[in-house]
Structures are given as structure tokens and as C-alpha cells.
Structure 1
Amino acid sequence: MLGQNQIKIYEVSEISTRIKSDIKADKTLQEVFVRGEVSNFSVVQGNAYFDIKDRVSKLHVVMFSVKKEVEEIKEGCTIIVHGKVDFYVKEGRVNLIADNFYVGGAGEIYLMLEQLKEKLRAEGLFAIEKKRPIPQYIFRVGIATSIQGAVIHDILHALSSAKGLEIYIVDTLVQGENAKESIVHALDILNCVQPDVIILARGGGSIEELWAFNEEIVVRAIRNSKVPVITAIGHETDRTLADLASDMSAPTPTYAGKFVYERYMNAIQKVMESTKKLHETAVEYIHEYTTTLDFLASKLSKNELWRSVQMQISHTNILRKSLNNAVLAALTSKKMMLEKLTISLEALLPEHILKLGYAYITKDGKIVISGKELEIGNSIEINFVDAVIDAKVEGKEVKEWKLEKVSRKN
């Protein structure tokens, strides 16, 4: 019989603890995707317990504090589980501690997305150091989104007080089979216009509805853009590859609009401060130069040199008046530009436009922005400055979408 000094005898808990420690040290086991068939599913006190198996083996899964979505998990269904591998020392059992799951086809889509994400990440397309800085001062903004959704209204509402901001809108498909090409083309168009920044936006949706923003050609188009791109896709919980590639990811379209508005107001404030500083510097320089000449003149005797200095003082006064006139003319020019801009902006008011003979169309009390919103037979109202005419759509001709310049600063 072997003595205890010849071999190492372990306690059960020692081996179990060692196994747990080794599993925890293996980083590849701390974030895994595992696919299998569900069996023995149950929910106890808010926690889900079940097995996933294939033809060879079975793995126990534990998911703590489950939500209503676990109702999708059924006996025998195929599931992909995301989580980390752990060892339960008390029972000597390997568990998969899950934090998320994908049932059926959704799991396949998510895996495909993860594979593409890792490929693009390896190329450096999501690297922080490659992101372009958003300009501190914004005077021109391009927007790529659908003009039929609520998103464009949210953004324009956030920018409504930015009088003089140039806004360029490209009507863009944001969902469906042709959406990815439409998004890339919209970015190309806006790069030709060269605004200070581009907002790429759409509302929230499922992973399938947002899939166009996970397409590789869209990610590459964002990175190849010469203009910084702000993505505002869905809600805060929605996160696409386009968000990872963009120079800034806004939680909502409204937030993106407010961000641009603040940068525009910063630009206007900077222009006003620079103009004021220029005027103050000119006045200060004239004052110092005149004071110096007056001091020198007081030190001279009343002779020919004095008369010469008097002539210089007279010349200086002329220069001072000329400089004052130049500064005044510059300020007057800025004032006229501001008044002209104000007149131009007032001319854009709905009341003024209607007085020129224009009208706008409403349907069910809402303004119709695009003819795509109307169908033959729809009842509409034609709104003039002094009357509202009821009408019905008898015919419809669809025109190709094009770049629309909404406003222009002077």
C-alpha cells in the first residue's frame, strides 16, 4: 500500500475549485455562442433552466432574471445561446451562464452579423483613431433619410430655429432589398455637395428592418466619405455596423438635429465675437497712435519742426477718419447683409409664399410633403391664402427623387 508521502491526495472540493479556476482563466470560454436543441426547459423564481444538446453531447444552461422573451423558447426548438462557461462546484457540473439567446433564423442572422463585424473590425473600419472629427462650427448639413417617415420631421424640427443654416436632403430608402444601394448613392450625392457634416438616419425597428445599415457596402461608404458622418439609426438600444463605422453615433434622430443646431449657433456666436473684436482692436490702435503723436508734439518748440509735426498730426487725423469710415462701412455692410438675410427669411414664411399665389396640400389635416403619400381617389384640401378648396386625386405621375436644397444662407 502506498504511503501518503508518495502521492498527492486531493479533496473533492480542491479538484472542483481547480476545474472552475481553469475554466475561468480560459478567455475563449468567457464569451461563446453555442447552438443546440432545447430540452427540459423550466422557469423557477424568475430564472430559466434548460439543456441544449446535439447528437453527441448536452450542456446545461442557466439564465438569471429572465424577461418575457423567454416565452419564445420551446421544447425541441433550435436556439443559439450567448454567454460564458462556468463550473458549479457544489454539484460538480459545467453550466453555460447565458445573457442572451436567438431562436431559429434570428440566431443565424445574428451569427452572420457577428462574423461580418469581426471581419470589418480586423480591417480597422471601427477604429477610434480613424474617425473624423465633427466640425466645431457647422454652416451646412446634409441629411440622408426617407422623406416619408417621421424621422425627417423630427430632425427639421430640431433645426427649425437655425435660421440661415443650409440644409440638403436626399430622399433615401432605409429598408428593403434596394436600401443599401440607395444609402450608398445618397452618401455619394452629399459628398459632391460637400456640407460640413452628414446625418444618416432612420427610425427604430427589428434587426431585419435595420439590416441595410449592417451591409458591408454601407459601412465602407461611411468610412470612404470625405465628409464626417453622424448616424442616428433607431433608438438607443439599436446598434448597427453603420453606427460603429460612423464618426459619431447619435442615440436618436432628434438628438442628431439638436447637436447640429448647437454647432451652428456656436458658429454664429464666433462670427459675432470676431467682428466685435476687430472693431475694438481698430479703435484701440487709432487711440494709441494718436496719443503718441500728441505726446511728441507737446515736447517740440514752436519752430519749423513744430509746423512739420502739425502737418503730420493733420495727416494722422485724416488717416484716423479714413480708418473710422472703413470700419463703419464694414459694419454697415454686415448690417445690410443681416437685413437682406432677414428679408429673405421672411420671404420664406408660409403666409408670404401663399400671398404670391402658391398653395399647399393637406390630407386628413396633415401637410403632404411628397406625392408618394397620395393615391388616386384620395380626398385632399388645397390651401390658399384666403380659402381652402376640397379636391380629389384623379391621376398621379411619380417623379424620380432628387437632391433638394431646403435653405441657403446669404
Structure 2
Amino acid sequence: MVDLFDFILDESFDDEEDSEKLLTVSELNNEIKDLIERHFLRIWVEGEVTNFHKSDRGHWYFSLKDSYSQIRAVCFSRQNSRLGFSIEDGTHIQVWGKLTIYEQRGEYQIVVESLAPFGKGAIQEAYEQVKEKLEKEGLFDESRKRSLPAFIRRIGIVTSLKGAAIKDMLKMFEEVENLYVTLIPTRVQGEGASLSISNAIELANLHNFQCLDKDKIDVLIVGRGGGSVEDLWAFNEEIVARAIANSSIPIISAVGHERDFTIADLVADLRAPTPTAAAKMIVEARKELINRLNRSKNSLIEKIRFRLISMENRINKLRSPLERTDTRIKDLQITLNRYNQRLKDSLRARISNDKDKLFLIKDKLTPAAILSILQKGRSDYLLLKQRLISNRYFVEKFRNALEIKEASLRARSPLAILERGYAIVFDQDGKVIRDSSQVVDGEEIKIKLAKGRITSIVTDREI
């Protein structure tokens, strides 16, 4: 690295020439700023927070100090709003940012782009701050967590491609047929890791929104292999927790640590102690599903086989009576033929007999006999005609009397009375109300009119 003040020892530095150049304060500060920013790119610095102040716009202004020195720092609201925890005087942190100079006062400072707690005490305090905040919002509630899908066809993995975790998981997934993996590479530690992880989760969800159903990710594994608390800190960041909570894809958090829980573990739908354990969880679930399907298939085949045997036995049982029925039909056919022949013989005999009788009747039907029959018929006709006239008179008389009775009954009918504007009132039990004392105020009554009914409520009575 080039030392900031190497130019002081440069032998080519011409004291006399530069001494004649007169600089304003602004020009001097501007040259120093340019020199600092060119020779010091982004750097990591750790120290204790002092003189902390938060502006109305949310910017953080503070100094970092150690036992001997201090340096001013600023962290703008756009950066600190993503942290999920706050700092105060005495907090021990490490910051990553750009070294520059505040020209108006000639003070050099660090413009902080990211910061993290430093030391166990500070890390635990920041962890508790994020945990308490998200817990109050209900992001850890079991009621909002989802079970893994019954059939997992495609798995998404959000992790680093350089670690051993991805190799172990892919090796396990190779054991299962028709199981597909979509890799979403991300940084898992260091500067920008939390943003990279949250972006990867959002990318997986965007993929599901745009792709065909067969290519959709069924479950997402978010994690990494083991490491120190500082190495795993990205999985405690609020931005990662919210990305997990907002995911439409069920998520397994698989950060490589056995005893402690990261914030990601608490928000995720399911937690696995390591990435390998997460892969094993899915593989075993898939194998169990296949076993259940095989058992169901075998059970179904057995039921179908039993059903076929049962139906075959039933057909055999029905076939025997049918065979006996066939024999019976043949016997009945013989009997029917026999009766048919008898009927034909009987009809021939009857026709022959009737023919003989017709010849006898023909001999008896002389003109005198026919005339006698006609005269008797005419006499019977005249007698019946006279009776018919008498009966017609009686029927007409009876009809007139019936019409009079009908008119009288119609006039007395309740329906005829209703036609004249009257009504019949019933109580709730369907009994006719004839007296106002039969009801009370507020009672529901029904009123029958000539056409239709009315339901009413008693509001007043006169007894």
C-alpha cells in the first residue's frame, strides 16, 4: 500500500517551486481528500462507539475510538435502516466503508456502508435487539409456518458455491430419482452477504412467479456450513429474516451450527442443524413418500385382485342357474308346442261345429220369421222411446233443483263472503279469532283475504 505521506520523502519534490504555490483552505482540503480517497479504498475498522448522535433524517454520526485515538464516522439512514439493530456509546463494532475528508471542517472520516457488532457482548446485544423486534411482529409464531409439501420435485438452494455444504447436499440428492435442484449462488459471509442472501430468496420467488408449474421450486434451503459467530452473522440480519418471512416458498434454514439458533432459524418454516441434515430431511421424506405410494399401489392391486376373484365366483354362481334355466326353457317350448297344436285342433272343431249351426239357423230364417222379429223390435223401440222422454223430464227437473241448491250453498260459502271484502283472522295456532279478547298486544296474527294472506302484529284492541 502506498503511504499517505510518501510524497514528503520524494526526492523529486521541489521545495522552492511548491513553496511559491499559494493554496486556499478549500483547495488544500480538496487535494488531501483526493489523495486519501485514491490511496485508501474501502477499509475495515473496529473500535468503540462514542459521541453517538442520530439526526432527524435518521443518519448516524459518531466516533470510533480505541485506547489512543479516535476517528469520526457517519452511517446514512439508507444503510443503517437495513441493520435491524442500533448502536450507542460504548458499543464495540467493526465498520466497512470509505475513508474521506469532510472539507468544510477539514476533518477526515469514514463513510460507513456496513457495520456489525464486534466481540461476544456486542454481538449478543445486537442479536437480542433483532430477535425482540421480530418476535413482537409475530415472525417467529408457529401458526404462520408451513409444512413441507407432500411431493417435492424441485429444490432450490441458496448458499455459496465454494463451500463444502453444496457438494454434500448435491451428493445426497443424487440418490433420489426425478429430484431436481436449482442453485441460487450467494455470499454467505462478509460485506454484503445479508443483502446477497435476501436478493437470492427474492429471485427464487420471482422464478416461481414467472416459470411453468413443472419448473417451480417446491422448497428452498437457505444456509451454509459451520463457522464462527461472526462468520454466521449474515443469517442474523433483519433483511434476511424478512426475506424468509415474505417468501411464498417454504424455507428450511440450514446454518451449520448445532447448539445456537440464528434469527433465520427462528423465522424459517423448518430448521435443520446443518445443510447436510436439511438434504437428508428431504431425501428421507421423498423416500417415505415413495414407500407410501408403493404400499398404496400394492394394496390397490390386492384389492383389485380380490375384487376380480369375487366377481368371477359370482359369475360362476349365476352361470349354473342360467344353464338350468336354458333346460327349463326348452321343456317349456315343447309344452308350448303341444298346447299350440291342441288349440289349433280345438279351433278347427269349433269352426266346424259353428258352421253346422249356421246351416241350421239359415233354414229357420224364413221371411215370416224375419218379419215377426222386426215387428217385435219396433214395439220394443217405441216402448223404450217413451221411457226415455219420461226420464229426460225427470233429469231436467232434478238439474234445476240441484242448481238452486248450489246457488244457495255458494251464497253461504266463506269464500263468497271474503269476495265481498270480509276477512278471516287466525291466531298463531291456526284457530279462527272471533273475539278481540282471544289475542294480546304484540301477538302475531294471520289474515285470510279473498286472494292471499297477510301476517300482522296486534298493536291495539277494543273489547
TM-score between the two structures when normalised by the length of structure 2: 0.41
Higher strand fraction: Structure 1 or Structure 2?
1
TM-score between the two structures when normalised by the length of structure 1: 0.46
Q: Which has the larger radius of gyration?
A: 2
Higher helix fraction: Structure 1 or Structure 2?
2
